[in-house]
Chain A
Amino acid sequence: MNDESKTPKVKMAGKGVEVFYGAKQAINGIDLEVYERQVTALIGPSGCGKSTYLRCLNRMNDTIDICKVKGLLTLDGEDIYDPNIDVVELRARVGMVFQKPNPFPKSIYENITYGPRIHGLAKSKADLDVIVEKSLRGAGLWEEVKDRLLEPGTGLSGGQQQRLCIARAIAVQPEVILMDEPCSALDPIATAIVEELIGELREQYTIVIVTHSMQQAARVSQRTAMFHLGDLVEVDDTETIFTNPSEKRTQDYITGRFG
């Protein structure tokens, strides 16, 4: 990234972000920028705060009563914790894919159309049909399920369910997709398919992914942020982090000395 013109635009940024669960501080003041149309991986040992940080980005932490967020978090320069920002609109712009596949216990079709329907993105059944096909194709699931769109989404295999959740997330055309260990419940083959999919999604969406697998971070991301005990140890291009980290803790973690 030495060429100045190639420096990507900052999509989301955190400044001095602190998160508290009751009296316990989970994140101790982090500055982290996420660039547009890139995959940013958050790595670090369990309990380091990477999932917590991820959940700040679409305010999913709001659902936890004792959770308090301090500091500044922006999306396209707008403070997302500003009282004028509607959390529903924020989540329509910043979608999320969870650790465990969680399709609604409804048909595949309804799983995809739920989001567009509540946001009023489609005017007719034909519009919805278009969205369903586009989203499922985007998630690489169309060929596998096109003949059984009315069957329950819960009847798919684990990997297919996770791709259905990704399709459901992109159906509302978000700008950012947050992924919280999206492959941890999948087998290696399904993981490979999802990883390939993440690479394709990067062309249209900004992606932030939390992962426990260093190899996965190396494979899918352009930038990697290393968390430890609520601190951001370092953030840099993925290649740099995995070949020439500037912090010893990063080096120790990626070489398997702890974590």
Chain B
Amino acid sequence: MADTFPTDNNTVAPRRRDIGLKQRYAAERRFQLYGKLAIAFGLFFLALLLWTVVSKGYTAFLQTSINLDITFDETVIDPKNERNENPMKLLTANYPKLAEAALYQKLGIDPKDKAQTKAADALISKGARTQLRDMLVSNPDLMNKTQNVWVLASGEVDSAIKGQFDLSVDESRRKIKDNQLEMMDRLKADGSLEGRFNTGLFTNGGSSRPETAGVGVAIIGSAYMMLIVLLTSLPIGVAASIYLEEFAPKNKLTDIIEVNINNLAAVPSIVYGLLGLAVFINFAGMPRSASLVGGLVLSLMTLPTIIIATRAALKAVPPSIRAAALGIGASKNQMVFHHVLPLAAPGVLTGTIIGLAQALGETAPLLLIGMVAFVVDAPATPLDPATALPVQIFMWANEAERAFVERTSGAIIILLAFLAVMNITAIFLRRRFERRW
């Protein structure tokens, strides 16, 4: 080897050793390529998912409505003037007739022309009944007055406007007929038929008519359940983790508990549903379909997640901080609550929100405790029947009408928006907490 280092320098550079640099850099480049491919793959499917959901679902936020001048005609609503003795009269009156009369007038249809009136009646949603009734009941002065109202168009009209029907097929095989299309065109021409922001989607409960179906009940049910999950599983989970991590003796029993908690996190959620059915409903006698039971079942499911995240966060607090606290005479309790827990708080918070987000999207256990229910009225308390957002999506996905397809996607968008808000809140809170410490 000596001859490769010539004494006469500046003429021949010493021979470089081959230490495999080329292969090493190639390996690194290959690995980076794999990583980029994996990320691109993931992003592609995320984009595909979002695009499918949004492109199908954004129309759910617009609902076709018809502008009508409705006269609250006493001769139709209460011909015998008995509403003072019988308050039910106002609730049971023939409100659709008011809307139909207004529509005939607008379209210039002879009320005696049966074929035409039947076609026109089908343009208005059956939901007009409750809409007009609620107006009059909340404001009885409207009697015999004329009011400009946007009433919901029927689901078929909505679907036709949104292009969900193939209008080129033969008339007899369509839900919407040629004369109805012609009426729609006339209404559209003078601005009386248009898509308006669908507030009903957020406030209405279950309905077999797509145009009046909404996720209102589901949102309230989900909110109740999230509250219950937060109030039960966070304190229980954090207390359990602190005890196990900081105080419990390390022996066989705690080992078994630890293994079990880790296993519980992997138990299929439907099993929790069965457990909830057996314990909360059959044994404890709690009501079916109630958000209270749903919340408790989801709490059981979320507990392991919160415990595991909290224990990891507690473990990550440097031992030097514990030693410092003990070294100046803090008791173990003071060490935990003054120093360790505050430092672990961001991790606990993240774990909790991940657990909550998981619970928010959970469907299977709720099916078993009867939350897959057709609930029309908003639940006033967590003991009233309710559904949950994912369950509502599940139920709508089973409906046959085309109009429910967009509503399913619309509900998915709402659910995803809730999840995004929760995660952003988590990040925001985390940042704030970490700055303080």
Footprint of B on A, CB under 8 Å?
Answer: 58, 60, 63, 65, 88-92, 95-98, 100, 102-106, 114-115, 118-119, 165, 168-169, 171-172
Q: Indicate if B326 sits at the interface (CB-CB under 8 A).
A: yes
* B83 nearest CB across to chain A (Å): 70
Q: Is the CB of A91 within 8 A of B328?
A: yes
Q: Which of A58, A103, A114, A172 has the most CB of B within 10 A?
A: A114
Q: Is the CB of B329 within 8 A of A60?
A: no
Question: In the docked arrangement, what's the CA distance between A14 and B339, Å?
Answer: 32
Q: Is the CB of B328 within 8 A of A169?
A: yes
Q: Is the CB of B327 within 8 A of A95?
A: yes
Q: Indicate if B109 sits at the interface (CB-CB under 8 A).
A: no
Q: Is the CB of A91 within 8 A of B321?
A: no
Q: Is the CB of B323 within 8 A of A98?
A: yes
Q: Is the CB of B329 within 8 A of A172?
A: yes
Q: How large is the interface on B (under 10, 10 to 19, 20 to 34, 35 or more residues)?
A: 20 to 34
Interface residues of B in 320-354 (CB under 8 A from A): 320-331, 334, 338-339, 343
The residues of A that contact B327 with a CB separation of less than 8 Å are 58, 60, 91, 95-98, 169
Q: Is the CB of A88 within 8 A of B343?
A: no
Question: In the docked arrangement, what's the CA distance between A58 and B331, Å?
Answer: 13
* Given A114-B338, A118-B334, A91-B329 contact (CB < 8 Å): yes
Contact for A103 among B324, B343, B437, CB less than 8 A:
B324
The residues of A that contact B331 with a CB separation of less than 8 Å are 88
The residues of B that contact A100 with a CB separation of less than 8 Å are 320
The residues of B that contact A119 with a CB separation of less than 8 Å are 329
Q: Is the CB of B323 within 8 A of A105?
A: no
Q: Is the CB of A102 within 8 A of B324?
A: yes
Q: Is the CB of A118 within 8 A of B321?
A: no
Question: In the docked arrangement, what's the CA distance between A58 and B320, Å?
Answer: 16
The residues of A that contact B343 with a CB separation of less than 8 Å are 105
* B436 nearest CB across to chain A (Å): 9
Q: Is the CB of B321 within 8 A of A98?
A: no
* A64 nearest CB across to chain B (Å): 11
The residues of B that contact A97 with a CB separation of less than 8 Å are 327
Contact for A88 among B318, B323, B324, B330, CB less than 8 A:
B330
Contact with A along B227-253 (1 / 0, CB 8 A): 000000000000000000000011000
The closest CB in chain A to the CB of B322 belongs to: A63
* Given A88-B331, A105-B437, A118-B334, A63-B320 contact (CB < 8 Å): no
* B437 nearest CB across to chain A (Å): 5
Q: Is the CB of B326 within 8 A of A91?
A: yes
Question: In the docked arrangement, what's the CA distance between A114 and B330, Å?
Answer: 9
